[in-house]
Amino acid sequence: MDQTDTPPAPPLNETAALLRHRPYMLFWAAKFTSVLAVQIQAVAIAWQVYALARLTSGVREAAFIVGMIGLAQFVALLALTLNAGETADRHDRRRIMMISLSVEVLCAGGLLLLARAGHPQLWPIIAIALVFGAARAFFSPASGAMGPMLVPRELLPKAVAWNSLAWQSASIFGPALGGILCAVSAQTAYAGALILFSVSILLLALIRANTQPTLQPGSRAELIKEGLVYVWTNKIVLGAISLDLFAVLLGGATALLPVYAKDILHVGAEGFGILRTAPAIGASAVAILLAFVSIRRRAGLFMFASVALFGLATIVFGLSKLLWLSVAALAVLGAADMVSVYIRQTLVQIVTPDVMRGRVSAVSGLFIGASNELGEFESGVAARLLGPIGAAVFGGVGAIIVTGLWASWFPALRKADRLA
């Protein structure tokens, strides 16, 4: 039988094969601990900044200031991401990740010292967020490009599902743990993040595999241009990553959660942790399912339907005045986003050759960073103009409109069938 006629292995066999790859599992654990640390730190920063801002500002002004944290991180990402992608295609990707995490350890230490000082000014926190964003700018493309190096190509879709599981499971425990630690003190939360970043560095140090990409000829500028041309001309890649950019940019409600917890739902720091955890609960449930049962057909239609559901759930959350309904809407939002993320990332990884993965991951990371960090700023501006409820509803409606437009503009993405 020709190799192309060989039927795919059953999902459980693929999972068992993936779990036998020790370098990949160490990478997976390092990714889990680093994301857990990022989530704890993000909760602590958002809660601390909003509490400090509320000492002198109203609800709308304080929400805008929280959005400035996202803007600071995005500015660093925007300035460095293309160079970071080219770096990931030239240098050892594991080493890049370790250096980036070392900078993140220093950032967590700086936030810890500021928190111990009592009620610090806001500008040092924003400055540290800027440095942290710079570190993430290099970490993301190296991480995105390194994972596929550690598994055979036939296990790549399964590895993408497990990567998402690491991110989403950490996103469940991270906000909840961050909320609990913040209830003790901001110092405790920052100390926990510092420890987890350090553990992630140790796990990466234990990996014994070749993580040095094949060196490509040409100058840095030529390689960056080559990566941008590839993304622009490959309509599946361009459509997938730009859909994430605009849908989450408009529909992201995460930046508004401190406002909802404190001044709309009145549930305090513990409730804030629950709200932050809710999207990841839904996403993780879907990620566990996808880790064992793959999407076999009509991937494009599943992706667009999930983005539309993401927008609808955002609207429900925006209008809700009940904690249980808000948590349910956020869980549905997270589940829908997980389906979309899984399909988009699998399609991008499959169609991208390894020599281009660093640069494509960098552009994808820039788009994702724009949708997250810049989306937080957009939510802060919208909350300033429309109020927090109006901002959430506006974002959900925008995500639904984007879904329709992208389904029309990128027919190849809409017609994508098998993730193989």
Beta strands in 114-191 (DSSP E): none
Q: What is the pTM of this model?
A: 0.68
Q: Could you give the angle at the alpha carbon of 230 between the alpha carbons of 405 and 243, nearest 5°?
A: 25
Residue 161 pLDDT exceeds 50 = yes
> Is 166 among the domain residues?
yes
pLDDT at 103 (0 to 100): 95
pLDDT at 372 (0 to 100): 62
Residue range 260-293, pLDDT digits in tens: 888 888 887 778 878 877 887 888 788 778 777 7
Q: Compute CA distances 131 → 52, 105, 124, 125, 159, whole Å.
A: 21, 11, 11, 10, 30
Residue with tokens 């990566």: 227
Q: Could you give the angle at the alpha carbon of 265 between the alpha carbons of 52 and 72, nearest 5°?
A: 40
pLDDT confidence bin for 419, thresholds 50/70/90 = low
> Cα-atom radius of gyration of the chain, to the nearest Å?
20
Residue range 341-377, pLDDT digits in tens: 778 777 777 777 767 777 777 777 666 655 565 666 6
- Closest by CA position to 170, among listed 276, 90, 94: 276
Residue range 225-237, pLDDT digits in tens: 777 787 777 778 7
Residue with tokens 């501006």: 381
CATH number, domain of 365, equals 1.20.1250.20
Cα 32 → chain centroid: 12
> Is 215 among the domain residues?
no
Token representation of residue 309? 């559901």
Residue range 69-97, pLDDT digits in tens: 777 777 777 788 778 888 888 889 999 99
> Is 310 among the domain residues?
yes
> Is 1 among the domain residues?
no
Which domain range does residue 203 map to?
10-208+220-414
> Is 4 among the domain residues?
no
Query: For the chain, percent helix, then strand, then coil, each to nearest 5?
Result: 85, 0, 15
Residue 1 pLDDT exceeds 50 = no
Q: Could you give the angle at the alpha carbon of 173 between the alpha carbons of 65 and 175, nearest 5°?
A: 10
Q: Compute CA distances 289 → 45, 273, 344, 375, whole Å.
A: 32, 24, 17, 28
Count of domains observed in the chain = 1
Three-state SS for 339-373 is HHHHHHHHHHHHHCCHHHHHHHHHHHHHHHHHHHH
> Is 246 among the domain residues?
yes
> Is 420 among the domain residues?
no
> Is 76 among the domain residues?
yes
